[in-house]
Structure 1
Amino acid sequence: MTTLNRPRDLPQILLSVLFLSLMIVACLWIVRPFVLGFAWAGTIVIATWPVLIKLQRLLFGRRSLAVLVMTLLLFLLFVIPIALLVNSLVDGSTPLVHAISSGSISPPDLGWLKSIPMVGAKLYTGWHGLLDMGGNAIMAKVRPYIGSTTTWFVGQAAHIGRFMMHCGLMLLFSALLYWQGEKVAYGVRYFATRLAAKRGDAAVVLAGQAIRAVALGVVVTALVQAVLGGIGLAISGVPYATLLTVVMLFSCLVQLGPLVVLVPSIIWLYWTGDTTWGTVLLVWSCVVGTMDNFIRPVLIRMGADLPMVLILTGVIGGLIAFGMIGLFIGPVLLAVSWRLFDAWVHEVPPPSDDPEEVLEELEAQETAPESLHN
């Protein structure tokens, strides 16, 4: 029996692809306002899922009670502190932005340089010599760029309404994911298996490990160091402690550590004559500054080991692309992509350590057809 090959209906294929593309674009356009909140919630739920399971066991196996407790914990320990920090950042930075933009700021006199033994007088003379040679003109040229940069950073935190909307969506999606976490995870794995069989399922598992590594090893460590450092600043009487805590959180997220803020604060306390609280903050800074050496390795082992340059790029790029929420979503996206790329590369055997051996094998393959032909 002869089977005739039916010719492909090219217009039907093109119209089908076009229709599916339009449906996908329309769906993405509809859910676009919820994407960041859902991604944020997914990161938190994946990182804290073991805590939910333990709470459920303690609460007589009731998932509803465990979800309620976890949602309240997220609201008390995550949403409220971040909202307060953002409000403090905006309120505390407004005078600074106004001073820079209006041009009322000028180079400091630095009269305290004279009190430095041996080299103080030379430093003071050199500084004022620089000002006399055009330091004020340099400041006038640099001031617009400083003002624009500062205004941009504050503007990222100034969208409090949108940020709080994402916080509310994060709480809502977190509660839903806590409630139906197993079904959602199974659905994602099923979809990944449909796309790429076992490789797709493994990719989902690797993505979960990367998310947990970032959330626990980077974000949690930064939050702990920033909160403890902020407590030390507030107790020591350093002004603008809340605003400095925000700066410290950002410096910890980009792997610079809390000492970027704590060391100048210690110097300021000693300079103002408050040696007692300066010493207390110095000891407390030693504890907070070295805490990541013990916390981060323990937390990262719960997920996956990731390059620090990946985290740094994700934090800065996420902040520029998505605003304040990008501090958390940016590293997660890069970490997931890195884990999938790394797994794909290691699916083949590694190359030989000796480059000469590789060249010899290549020459042998090239000469083999010639010998067979002869």
Structure 2
Amino acid sequence: MKTEPKIWDMPQIVFSLLFIILLIVACFWVVQPFVLGFAWASMVVIATWPLMIKLQSLLWGRRSLAVIAMTLLLILLFILPVALLVSSLIENSGPVIAWASSGHIKLPEMEWLNSLPVVGKKLNSAYHTLVQGGGSAMMAKVQPYIGRTSVFLFAQVGHFGRFMLHLGLMLLFSVLLYWRGEQVGHGIRHFAFRLASRRGDAAVLLASQAIRAVALGVVVTALVQGVLGGIGLAISGIPYATVLTVLMILSCLVQLGPLVVLVPAIIWLYWSGDTTWGTVLLVWSCVVGTLDNVLRPMLIRMGADLPMILILSGVIGGLVAFGMIGLFIGPVVLAVSYRLVSVWVHEAPAPEESPEEVVEELAEREQEQATK
């Protein structure tokens, strides 16, 4: 019995495909405002899920108590530092501007400028001319740039507002994911298995390992360095130590390190004549500044073995592409992609032949093709 050949209905296929694409675009359009917040929440929940399970076991097996504890921890780690930074900047910006424009600024003589070759005398003369004019002269020099700076700051306010919105969405989605984490994880694994069988399921598990490695290596290291540096600032008597600690944590997240904040503090202590505490802070800064060279690789390898250049590129590229949220999204995207490609490549054995043999074989084949 002969079977009739299957006839492809091309208009039906085309219109079905167009309908599916239209449906996907419409869904993405609807959820677009929540994508970054949900992605951030997913990374936070995946990274802290073992901690939440441990808290649940300590809190008599109650998921609700564990979710409340994790929510308070997220508020402590994300909301409070940002709120402290903003409130401190608002409170202290007025006195700082008034002090800078009061005309009572006393600056050092900096006679060592004369020892610089070629441009030393010119720099020294220009510097002393500016110092003799006082703070008002400084403000007059800076005045042409204030307008540009104001425009830049107003532009950053918009970015900061979006960052706070995504921060709130992250907190909300994190609570929901903590509450129904097993169901969500099983659903994602089911979808990946339906999409690519066992490879899809393995890809999801590898992605979770990469996310946890980035969270441990980047975020935990930044928190440890920032807190230890803040303790050193507070003990040394540096004013506004809380604000500087938050700035130090952000600087560590951007991979600039804590020395961006600690070095000016050391200079200020020596300048003010407090050499004892300046030396103490200098020694402490050497310890804190080199801590990431030991702590970060160790923490990253606890989740997955990832190259450090990948993490640094992800942090910087994510910051440029997505803003503050890119500090977390950038390295995660690169880490997940690297892990998936690495596993796919290692499914096949590495070539054992030497490069010379391969080149000779290719040359022989080219000669055979040319003689035919």
TM-score class normalised by the smaller sequence: 0.7 to 0.9
Whether the 8 Å contact between 1:217 and 1:300 is mirrored in structure 2 is yes
Give the root-mean-square deviation of aligned CA atoms.
3.7
The amino acid across from 1:277 in the alignment is W
| Mapped pair 1:113 → 2:127 | no
Counterpart for residue 322 of structure 2? 322
TM-score of the two chains, using structure 1 as the length reference: 0.81
The question of 1:61 aligning with 2:61 is answered: yes
State the AA in 2 paired with 1:265: A
* C-alpha displacement of 1:321: 2.6
How far the C-alpha of 1:16 sits from its partner, in A, is: 0.6
Hey, what does 1:259 align to over in structure 2?
259
Task: Give 2:134's aligned residue.
Answer: none
Superposed, 1:163-182 pairs within 5 Å as 163-182=163-182
For residues 47 and 284 of structure 1, what CA distance do their matches in structure 2 show?
A: 30
Q: In the alignment, which of 103, 121, 130 is matched to residue 125 of structure 1?
A: 121
- 2:74 counterpart residue number: 74
Counterpart of 1:286 in structure 2 is 286
Q: Counterpart in 1 of 2:131? A: none
Q: For 1:125, give the aligned amino acid.
A: K
Structure 2 CA distance for partners of 1:211 and 1:2, relative to 1, 3 Å? same
- The corresponding residue for 1:137 is none
In 1: Cα distance, 2:348 partner to 2:336 partner: 20
Q: Deviations over 1:182-222 (max 9, x none)?
A: 11111111111111111111111111111111111111101
Q: Please state whether the residue corresponding to 2:348 is helix, strand or coil.
A: coil
CA distance in 2, matches of 1:173, 1:53: 18
The equivalent of 1:186 in structure 2 is 186
Kindly indicate whether the alpha-carbon contact (under 8 Å) linking 2:113 and 2:121 is maintained by their aligned counterparts in 1: no
Aligned to 1:85: 85
* CA apart distance, 1:170: 1.4
Counterpart in the other structure of 2:137: none
Measure the CA separation in 2 of the matches of 1:308 and 1:11: 51
Q: Structure 1 residues 25 and 364, CA, compared in 2 at 3 Å: closer, same or farther?
A: same
1:135 is matched with: none
SS of the equivalent of 2:268 reads helix
Shift in Å, 1:294: 3.6
Alpha-carbon distance change, 94 to 48 in structure 1, aligned in 2, over 3 angstroms: farther
Cα shift at 1:282: 1.7
1:38 aligns with 2:54: no
Sort the Cα spacing of 1:182 and 1:228 in 2 relative to 1 into closer, same or farther, 3 A. Answer: same
| Paired amino acid for 2:190 | Y
1:349 lines up with 2:345 in the alignment: no
- Of 359-368 and 21-30, deviating more is 359-368
SS in 2 for 1:306: coil
Q: 1:367 to 1:244 in 2, by over 3 A?
A: same
Cα–Cα, structure 1 residues 149 and 3, in superposed 2: closer, same or farther, change >3 Å? farther
What is the SS of the residue equivalent to 1:302?
helix
- Partner SS, residue 109 of structure 2: helix
> Structure 2-normalised TM-score?
0.82
Residue 97 to residue 187, structure 1, CA distance change in 2 (3 Å):
farther
Structure 1 position 308, deviation (Å): 2.6
Unaligned regions of 5+ residues in structure 2, if any? 129-140
What CA distance in whole angstroms lies between the structure 2 residues aligned with 1:123 and 1:314? 40
Aligned to 1:291, the other structure's residue is in SS state helix
What is the letter of the counterpart of residue 127 of structure 1? L
Aligned letter for 1:178? Y
* Count of residues paired in the alignment: 359
Alignment-derived partner of residue 205 in structure 2: 205
Shift in alpha-carbon separation, 1:367–1:119, aligned structure 2, 3 A: closer
- State the Cα distance separating 1:309 from its structure 2 match: 2.6
Q: Which residue of 2 aligns with 1:248?
A: 248
Hey, what does 1:9 align to over in structure 2? 9
| Rounded Cα–Cα distance in structure 1 between residues aligned with 2:107 and 2:207 | 52
Higher mean C-alpha deviation, range 9-18 or range 264-273: 264-273
Gaps of 5+ in 1: 99-103, 133-139
Offset from partner CA, 1:169-189 (integer Å, 9 cap, x none): 212211111121111111111
Q: Indicate how the Cα distance of structure 1 residues 93 and 25 shifts in structure 2: closer, same or farther if over 3 A, else same.
A: farther
